[in-house]
Amino acid sequence: MKLKITHETSYSYDTPVEALVQSLRLTPSVHEGQRVCEWHITVSSGQRGVAFRDGAGDWIEGWSVRGPVDTVTVSINGMIETRDTAGVLRGHRETVNPIVYLRDTPATKADEALIRLARSVKGDDALDLSHKLMAAVAEAITYTPGVTEASTSAAEALELGQGVCQDHAHALIACARECGLPARYVSGYLHTSVEGKPHDAAHAWAEIHVGSLGWVGFDAANACCPDERYVRLGSGYDAQDAAPVRGMAFGISVESLDVRVHVEEVQQEQ
């Protein structure tokens, strides 16, 4: 599938800020499931400082903006060719030992309820167990936008029984780690054919390390493994660690954020 992606993140400040520094994890890496045809990042009035691939295989760019400035827009324009690998992440260049992802964070710490949920499931092997954990999380947390926030933890989301893809991913990560399986948060894009649901395009899911297969994606929000509709941007312990954009503005100002993501399928030319 060939996917055209446009992604704009705009920060507006009620009083101009002196400067802005950002760390962007906004470039898809190449692996068997995706090939980058074109990819452009621009930051309005910004200067690209550094660019490098980190140990987890994510491409990081550091940008700085010299103010005074009252609006900064990070724009992505790209074209990605994807392929269904049944969720298996193959050919992704990374050197971080998977055991590192057994460590929990405040957002992914398992409380008693999450531990109960994790232990309620039995699997024949790590892969089977992961599928069943995904199904259990999908059932325990109903997809409901607007009830949780960026700072909601896995435990809180499970208690609410409602949440969005971030909450599903956090809960699945917590359960997998509880079962001794390394798990991590993945941010990316999802192409949805249903019209009128633009918020679906920026997506997140979990990856679980299952023995010989290595990292496999599990999207509890849609109860499936990532296929050719998914574009993978980067990973981390949790949503904060895997965030596509991390930035800080210098100055006393109130920030407002506007995000627009659009993913559309481009028909292959004959």
Partner 1 sequence: MSYNEMIESGEVRPPYAMLSDWVASMPAEMRQMKQAEAEALFRRIGITFAVYGEGGDPDRLIPFDMVPRVFMQSEWRKLERGIKQRARALNAFLRDVYSRGEIVRAGRIPARLVYENAAYEKAVVGFVPPRGVFSHIVGIDIVRTGRDDFYVLEDNCRTPSGVSYMLENREIMMRMFPGLFRNNRIEPVDQYPELLRRTLASVAPAKCEGAPTIVILTPGHFNSAYYEHSFLANLMGVELVEGSDLFVDGGFVYMRTTQGPKRVDVIYRRIDDPFLDPLCFRKDSMLGVPGLMDVYRSGGVSIASAPGAGVADDKAIYTFVPEMIRFYLGEEPLLQNVQTWTLWKDDDYKYVMANLKDLVVKEVHGSGGYGMLIGPKATKEEIAKFAELIKANPSNYIAQPTLALSTSPTFVAEGIAPRHVDLRPYCLCGDRVELVPGGLTRVALREGSLVVNSSQGGGVKDTWVLTE
Residues belonging to the chain: 270
For the bound state, the minimum distance from the C-beta of residue 47 to partner 1, rounded and expressed in Å, comes to 5
Nearest to 44 by CA among 23, 71, 26: 71
For the bound state, the minimum distance from the C-beta of residue 70 to partner 1, rounded and expressed in Å, comes to 19
- Sign of the Cα pseudo-torsion (101, 106, 108, 112, in order): positive
Number of H helices, E strands in the chain: 4, 12
Measured from the CB atom, the residue of 22 and 34 that comes closer to partner 1 is 22
Structure tokens at 105: 């964070």
Asked if 16 contacts 66 with a C-beta cutoff of 8 angstroms, the reply is: no
Binding site for partner 1 (CB under 8 A): 19, 21-23, 47-52, 54-56, 60, 62, 64, 66, 95-97, 99-100, 102-103, 237, 240, 246-248, 250
Measured from the CB atom, the residue of 250 and 266 that comes closer to partner 1 is 250
Burial class (CB in 10 A: 0-12, 13-18, 19+), 212: exposed
Crossing angle between the packed helical segments 112-119 and 126-140, to the nearest 10 degrees: 130
Measured from the CB atom, the residue of 50 and 86 that comes closer to partner 1 is 50
For the bound state, the minimum distance from the C-beta of residue 144 to partner 1, rounded and expressed in Å, comes to 26
Measured from the CB atom, the residue of 64 and 162 that comes closer to partner 1 is 64
For the bound state, the minimum distance from the C-beta of residue 94 to partner 1, rounded and expressed in Å, comes to 9
Asked if 90 contacts 21 with a C-beta cutoff of 8 angstroms, the reply is: no
Measured from the CB atom, the residue of 66 and 197 that comes closer to partner 1 is 66
For the bound state, the minimum distance from the C-beta of residue 77 to partner 1, rounded and expressed in Å, comes to 23
